[in-house]
Amino acid sequence: MKTSIGLFILLLVVLTATIAQGDLKPVPATQGQAIMQQSLFAHQFTKPKEGDGTVSKKALVTKLRGKNIRVAIDSQSPDTEGFDVVRFDFSGKGKFNDKQVVPLKKREKGNPSRLNFGPATLQVERNGKSIPVMLSGHIYTSSDHKYIIAYLGTALEGTCKFGDKTYPVRIVDGNNNLNCGSKSRYQKNSGVTIGDTLLIDTGKGNFKQPNQLKKSLYGAPVLLDGVWYDVALSPDKSEIVATPSTAKTATLKIDHDNWSIGLIGKDYILMLDGSSKPMEIPAGKYTVMQFTQIQPTKGDVLSIDQQNLRQKTAKKFNAAAGKTFELAIGAPLTGQIKIKARGRRITMNFKLTDVSGMSAMVNSMYSSKPQVEVFDEQGKLVHTGKFEYG
């Protein structure tokens, strides 16, 4: 009898341990939690088919670009003037129902042809499981132009142990395949970075305080509490596992007080935040994907975006193992006016470049707009004007 009880207790312990092994669960994710979240777009609409589940005879049906997701801009009642709902069909079969519906909302101000929807959470079947997906976006339906832009948000949430500390974590879908765990990569052919985001909440664990969220692109090493970790989903996707990285490191120095940078490496994309204090990074060859610098006095924001990758002007460097690399990037900026003349028409464009030669922008309510003065051959002022940032 004692042996039977002992075996039963042992079996119960084993089963409990097996069940508790992974704590990941699907949760909806708000827009903006993914670093490189892509919007879904469509502008070619067709009329509804008989028996497809739409209500209004004027309903507009389309397929979101690049995804097998059907959408119907519709109404709840056949007597309703205009549109008041968006219906989604995630099976791609073009069959709509009253469950996967998001109401449209009129804007208090602005163009009446534009209507917003969401955020709202729908349950979607994926790989035999029901997952929550948060949807938001807007439609535009004027007489001569129609389109829809949608954002999908879903994530896997659980906990992960980093050294002797355990933090709440999320892997947020960033490429709209509703399958969390896609490594981020830069696509040279399209000039777009896609992939999922890893969130680590170092605060209350509700993923709502931006200054307490550690963000990185999934698949890249993560710097947390002074240690680099390799973070990955377990093979059965039941838990997130972090192991100290064994990669060699280099020291990166950027001589600015408040900056963030995206670096494309051989196997991953690093997203870093730092100051003038040197920091250790995994050694290797990198290309600057993007850079942001905040000026401490006026709060001006200097930004370098991915257009430099597309224009092949992005800064490249090698952070050799065990050595320090000082990256010259950001301010001070150099302004240049490019002038094109066609007959009596003259076009002038103002371009900013940073110390590395990359194209840059300044976005701030405090930034003064560059002023231009035009003189004729005799030195007489014939025109004055100001450039707009954009």
List, run by run, the mean pLDDT of 10-residue segments along the chain (390 residues). 45 37 86 88 94 94 91 93 94 91 85 90 92 96 92 96 96 92 83 88 92 93 95 91 95 95 93 94 96 79 89 94 96 86 80 92 64 83 73
Rounded-to-integer distance, Cα 171 and Cα 197, Å: 6
Residue 9 pLDDT: 42
Q: What is the CA radius of gyration of the chain?
A: 26
pTM for the whole structure: 0.82
CA distances from 76 to 48, 57, 149, 348 (A): 15, 12, 21, 52
**Amino acid 347: pLDDT:** 79
- Domain limits, the chain: 26-154, 247-390
- Quick one: pLDDT at residue 297? 65
Strand 324-326, strand 249-253: pairing: parallel
pLDDT of residue 156: 96
CA-CA distance, 332 to 360, in Å (whole number)? 11
Measured CA to CA, the distance from residue 244 to residue 103 in angstroms comes to 46
State the residue for tokens 């005799």.
378
| Res 299: pLDDT | 65
Residue 10 has what pLDDT? Answer: 42
pLDDT at 60: 95
CA distance 301 to 380: 36
CB atoms within 10 A of CB 251: 16
Least Cα distance to 144 among 295, 43, 246, 241 occurs for 43
